Amino acid sequence: MATFKDFRNDVAPNWCPGCGDFAVLAAMQRALANLGYEPEQVAVLSGIGCSGRISGYIHAYGFHGVHGRVLPLAQGLKMANRDLVVIAAGGDGDGYAIGLNHTIHAIRRNIDITYLVMDNQIYGLTKGQTSPRSAVGFQTKSTPKGSIEAPIAPLQMALAAGATFVAQGFSSDINQLVNIIEEGIRHPGFAMINIFSPCVTFNKINTYDWFKQNVVPTDTIEGYDRHDRNKAMQTLMETDGMLTGIIYQDQETPSYQDRIPGFRKEPLVKQPLKLEREAFVELLEEFA
């Protein structure tokens, strides 16, 4: 059985020291090992940004895509090989700006993949511009007088789009994050996981200390029921989106793959390529 170390490779991450993405990588590796997977059973795909490098730092199948397009790649891979554990990863700029339409449609389709969004509320790779998650008044190189746009509320958006698994973690709470990722991978549908992953270089507002003072774990809320969509939405609004833990889960709605008539249980890579003559003749007769 694979261990945490089996999901490591020889590529040293070049994230800034203290970046929250280190913890996300470690949590993902621990979760996969805890679930008993082997590296060849896993594919990690990523977009552009600091977070996009994560697919090259894990010993598994990996693909580094273009900006905002990680979810089409991940969905295509899952449809081609449903036996793979498919994890898509990106940042708030990747998933909530140029890739937002893909995010919404992946949510509503409910394809069985896990999406990790490393939310640092700034564009880090391009040296510090306002992102869709930056707060009103947030001053950066692109908004020197402060942002005038309201930040997007990704988890409320996910619930409204019909998400069947919504969770949020914080890179400083590694145990909670490992549990969330494990549950997201187990979930038979699209698992949306937003992760507060502080940028220590360019975001001096939303720091580790700031998050520690503002996050609200679901296990501190008496009687919280993660199967109640209305309560999840209400609590997210009451906590200004700072709720952490598994916020909502619907295990009854079938996944996209399970709703496709005739979609085989065996992945394409295991299906025979040879077309029997009877099937060939039948196909020809359709067009004759």
For residues 82-111, average pLDDT: 95
Question: Per-residue confidence at 1, pLDDT binned at 50, 70, 90?
Answer: confident
Task: Give me the phi and psi of 196, to 5 degrees please.
Answer: -70, 115
What digits encode the pLDDT tens for the residues 151-182? 999 999 999 999 999 999 999 999 999 999 99
Residue-level pLDDT at 67: 87
Map out the domains of the chain with their CATH numbers. 4-287 (3.40.50.970)
CB–CB of 114/185 below 8 Å?
Answer: yes
- CA-nearest of 227, 206, 205, 209 to 218 is 227
d(CA 32, CA 22): 16
Contact yes or no for 18/200 (Cβ under 8 A)? yes
Phi-psi region for residue 110, left (φ > 0), alpha (ψ -120 to 50) or beta? left
Q: For position 273, what pLDDT does the model report?
A: 78
pLDDT in tens, 169-223: 999 999 999 999 999 999 999 999 999 999 999 999 999 999 999 999 999 999 9
pLDDT tens, 20-38? Answer: 999 999 999 999 999 999 9
